[in-house]
Structure 1
């Protein structure tokens, strides 16, 4: 697991918290912020996943 994967998951969690707080307090801005954080976290985690896959692939193809 690399730092992009960890940060991505962390951002998703923060986003879910913000979304939940926004819904509970009827604050659409906070809810939207949470949705955006979750989306950004998913992108960052996917980037980290791709980096890990490339690293693993390079290891297995090395002579």
Structure 2
């Protein structure tokens, strides 16, 4: 499991706790901070799960992963060249 997944889940839990505390205390600022931290944690957790999936696929299908990475590199190179010409 990727470190980002663990950190993201922890941030999400802390954010939910802050949001609940803000609701109970009637503090809208704390509630919003909790919502933002929860959303940030969810994004970081998703990023970590995505990295885990990519790593697993790379180990399972190394040649295909290499071809995909090369194709993506070529697309990015072409995009960069076209943007430089403008």
TM range (shorter): over 0.9
Aligned pairs for 1:1-63 (under 5 A) are: 1-62=1-62
Unaligned runs of 5+ in 2: 64-86
Which one has the largest radius of gyration?
2
Deviation at 1:22, TM superposition (A): 0.1
Unaligned runs of 5+ in 1: none
Question: In proportion to residue count, which structure has more helix?
Answer: 2
Higher relative contact order (CA 8 A, sep 6+): 1
User: Hey, which bits of structure 1, 4+ residues long, moved more than 4 A?
Assistant: none
Deviation at 1:2, TM superposition (A): 1.1
TM-score by length of 1: 0.96
Count residues in correspondence. 63
